[in-house]
Amino acid sequence: MVQDSRKVASETEVTPKKMDTDEVPKGRLHRLFPSGMGLSGKLLVLTILFVMLSEVLIFVPSIANYRNTWLRDRLAVGGVAATLLTDSETLSPQVQDKLLEATGAQAISLVVGERRNLIAMESSEMNITKTIDMTHDSPWEAIECSLQFLIGGYTGQIRVIGDVDMSSGGRVDMIFPASLVRADLQKYALNILQLSLLISCLTAALVYLSIRSLLLRPLQRLTASMRRFAEAPENAREIIKPSGRVDELGEAEVQLQSMQKSLNHTLNQQRRMAALGMAVSKINHDMRNLLASAQLFLERLEMLPDPTVQRVAPKILATLDRAASYTSAVLSYGKAQEPPPELRLIRLAPILRDVEEVLGLSRYSEEIEMHINVPETQELEADPEQIFRVLLNLCRNSVQAMQASKGTSGVVCRIEIHSQVQDDMLCIYVADTGPGIPEKAQEGLFKAFQSSGKAGGTGLGLAIAAEIIVAHGGQITLEKNVTTGACFKIQLPYRQGAQATEKITRLFPADTSKG
């Protein structure tokens, strides 16, 4: 029981307290300001505080310097009195009163060696609470003494000792009321404080206006642009226009413009894709009904004894089945749900001949020739329908490009397809003698809605082809070292298939002598 209670206590101590998602941690500096204060107000307050702090660092030494100057001036007057004393030995009562009144002292005496000579004295009752020797007074002692005077730390009288410029040497010893020194220091401190406050406000205003002009207004412009763009990201007019600054804010404006343009372009593409998906979904049902009707008519034609009908009708039915599956495939692509390939061991040459028949091409075609240089035994592991779609898209693009550019007699229009084994990959090359693909269109060639340059293209064929090839573990690229037309290279994982069988047969031929 005790162990259980300790375990619960330890779990309670170790488990950290979760922060509420609505609570935003704030630094100590942010706690100094009201919650509704903006950046401009915070900047103004901080500027005033920092300038005042700088003035305080100047204020304290200036108070100590004023105290030293105040005491030395009085000692200088006492020194003059000491000089007169050496000449006349004594001062008259009238001169003593004027000397005390001029210096504000209550007693003045001259010390030469062991001898003390009283020059003037107002009263014999003295309460000395502080002695200041100006000959050994350090700066830190002067600062501490000045602050003590300001806060009323000294009462009664203070004693001040200083040297006198005399041939025989000597020191002046003067006694002042502490209230007199405190009153003069407080008056000086008040004047310095008022001047510091005025300088702080003026400096803060200048710094604030400068920083607001250089930083805050551009930041407010960036914020306003982002807010307007967030409300209407499809509107290209809301994209920020850089001001041409060459500093970090100018770079931020350029980067923001680039980001807004990219986002605007992406949103427009998504809108087109959504519109395409909506259009295809609307016509998909009707298209399936039309294809089903055509299939029924062809099934009736298959009953005719005509040999031509018996040879062509099955191929047309297969083509209609593929067309029906393609309508669903376009919807699947719009939903980013292209079905995974169903891998089977297939031969490449028959699939290429199906592509040739669907496009109505042949080696001896008068308009466009198609040359298939692939061994009959070339095998690979792939989805036959998806590989057919890829090759059909590539060849159809070549046919459309060559038909659009053909206007002069004698122009060679040919599609050549050949394969080559490279390491563990089977490379299929689909080349044509057309006008080629413009360099500008090559950048986003395999992206959706990026047409290769032919008129009326939707830009989905190469995107679907690339997605299918990647799903097979391969890749499709555009060869850029060709001089005429366009050449696409398809790389797929290679399976030995029939070639391995033939190799084994050559190594171990069957024994035909028996039987």
Q: What is the pLDDT of residues 111-130, one digit of tens each?
A: 877 777 788 888 767 788 88
Which residues neighbour 122 within 8 Å (Cβ) at sequence distance 6 or greater? 100, 105, 106, 107
Q: Is the pLDDT of residue 501 over 70?
A: no
What does pLDDT average to over the chain?
Answer: 76
Q: Is the pLDDT of residue 504 over 50?
A: no
Task: Provide the β-strand partners of residue 489.
Answer: 429, 477
Q: What is the mean pLDDT of residues 198-218?
A: 78
Tell me the chain's radius of gyration from C-alpha atoms.
50
Q: Is the pLDDT of residue 462 over 90?
A: no
User: What count of Cα atoms within 13 Å lies in the side-chain half-sphere of residue 206?
Assistant: 6
Q: What is the pLDDT of residue 300?
A: 67
Which residues neighbour 150 within 8 Å (Cβ) at sequence distance 6 or greater? 63, 182, 185, 186, 189
Name the phi and psi angles at 29, rounded to 5. -65, -35
Q: Using one digit for the tens of pLDDT, what is the confidence trace for 220-274?
A: 888 888 888 888 887 888 888 888 877 777 888 888 888 888 888 888 877 777 7
3-state secondary structure of 109: strand
CA–CA distances in Å: residue 211 to residues 166, 207, 217: 59, 6, 9
**Residue 331 banded pLDDT, cuts 50, 70, 90:** low
CB-based contact 393:462 (threshold 8 Å) = yes
CB-based contact 393:428 (threshold 8 Å) = no
> What are 418's two structure tokens?
């050949």
Q: What is the pLDDT of residue 5?
A: 42
Tell me the C-alpha distance between 141 and 256, whole Å.
59
Q: What is the DSSP letter of 500?
A: H
Range scoring the smallest mean pLDDT among 214-218, 293-297, 304-308: 293-297
> What are 177's two structure tokens?
């009321």
Q: Using one digit for the tens of pLDDT, what is the confidence trace for 4-62?
A: 444 434 444 444 444 444 444 455 555 556 665 666 677 777 777 777 777 777 888 88
CB-based contact 379:498 (threshold 8 Å) = yes
Tell me the C-alpha distance between 257 and 302, whole Å.
63
Which of 231, 244, 236 has the alpha carbon at shortest distance from 261?
Answer: 236
**Residue 280 banded pLDDT, cuts 50, 70, 90:** low
CA–CA distances in Å: residue 258 to residues 240, 251, 266: 9, 11, 12
Q: What is the DSSP letter of 19?
A: P
Tell me the C-alpha distance between 172 and 191, whole Å.
31
Tell me the C-alpha distance between 363 and 355, whole Å.
13
3-state secondary structure of 105: coil
